[in-house]
Amino acid sequence: MVYPVCVGCKSGIRHGQKFKVGEGFSKLFWSVRQLDRVNSNDYICQKCQLKFVHWTKETNDEFKNLIKNEQEREKSNLDGNVRGFVYCI
Ligand SMILES: [Zn+2]
């Protein structure tokens, strides 16, 4: 049987739960750790998932807010563009 390989530690996940990388924050975390692109459908082992959870607690969601601010900034930029576009017509 072929076991899914954990993105974090590159070992086969034979025991415990496995988690999907998913979108957003978790994907960013693993991408930075690997200095590489990661796929949302890639797997994380239970041990590495705990590292991620621990890190989000240690940083007190500091970076989560950064991402949120960035998304809101993009959104407000988009609104500005739409308004600008309407203005041009
Ligand atoms: Zn792992």
User: Average pLDDT of each block of 10 consecutive residues along the chain (89 residues)?
Assistant: 92 92 91 94 96 90 74 70 51
Q: How far is the CA of 84 from the centre of ligand 1 (A)?
A: 48
Q: How far is the CA of 31 from the centre of ligand 1 (A)?
A: 14
Q: How far is the CA of 82 from the centre of ligand 1 (A)?
A: 44
Which contacts qualify for 51-54: CB closer than 8 Å, 24 or more apart?
A: 51/8, 52/8, 52/26
Which distant-in-sequence residues (6+ apart) come within 8 Å of 5 by Cβ?
11, 12, 13, 43
Q: How far is the CA of 33 from the centre of ligand 1 (A)?
A: 12
Domain boundaries, given as residue ranges, for the chain: 1-58, 61-89
Q: How far is the CA of 68 from the centre of ligand 1 (A)?
A: 27
| pLDDT given for residue 89 in this prediction | 47
pTM of the model: 0.71
Question: What's the rounded Cα separation, in Å, for the pair 7 and 26?
Answer: 11
Nearest Cα neighbor of 13 from 22, 23, 3, 21 is 3
* Cβ atoms of 55 and 29 closer than 8 Å: yes
